[in-house]
Amino acid sequence: LVTTGDINPKDWQIAAEKSINSIVESGVLNRNDGRKSVIMVSQVKNSTTQHINTRILTDKIRQALLRTGKAVTTTAVGGEGPDDAASKQVRDLRDSEMFDQKTVQQMGTAVAPDMSLAGEIVQEKYNEGRTRESYYFFHMTLTDLKTGLAVWEDNAEVLKQGTRPALGF
């Protein structure tokens, strides 16, 4: 319980750590073929009344996924387009006379993702007298892109509380 109504960087960290710990503990990243799972970080929908840059959460999750050593993330594709358009742009250099073609990245060499991580942040507000509470629910889903099936889901919850002044706004 925190004495403010808005989520803050510490809340992002808590939500990201809970998600990553849950993913790792579930075993869903363990593969039999010895390679790391390739994860595309998709969209996290903001269904709150607060302006939230959900990129903060997805970046923290991406970084934590990489630190596990069990997964890599692709920046070539994402829920809102590529995080780094360079993967495609460098392949477009194949037809350029300016570049040594032996050094140009070839088509068909980028690695497609195995899974997609997406989510939603929902807010519920409660008022009782001068006390305001906001309950934030961070719901995340990891989907197997081959089957379209959710292979992991979890949530992190944050409760915020504040008091309105007796007079004024």
- Max mean pLDDT among 46-50, 84-88, 137-141 falls in 137-141
Find, among 71, 57, 85, 59, the residue nearest to 23 by Cα.
71
Q: What is the pLDDT of residue 4?
A: 60
CA torsion through residues 124, 61, 53, 117, sign: negative
Q: Render pLDDT for 22-66 as a digit per residue (tens, 0 to 9).
A: 999 999 999 999 899 999 999 899 998 888 888 888 888 899 999
Find, among 104, 79, 85, the residue nearest to 93 by Cα.
104
In angstroms, what CA-CA distances link 126 with 38, 102, 119, 123, 136?
Answer: 40, 62, 23, 10, 12
Q: What is the pLDDT of residue 134?
A: 86
Q: How confident is the model at residue 90 (pLDDT cuts 50, 70, 90)?
A: confident
Q: What is the pLDDT of residue 166?
A: 67
Q: What angle do CA 56, 146, 17 make, to 5 degrees?
A: 25
Q: Render pLDDT for 93-136 as a digit per residue (tens, 0 to 9).
A: 888 889 998 888 888 888 999 999 999 999 998 888 888 888 89
Q: How far apart are CA 130 and CA 88, in angstroms?
A: 54
Domains of the chain plus CATH, in order, are 9-83+113-163 (3.40.50.10610)
pLDDT reading at 1 higher than 60: no
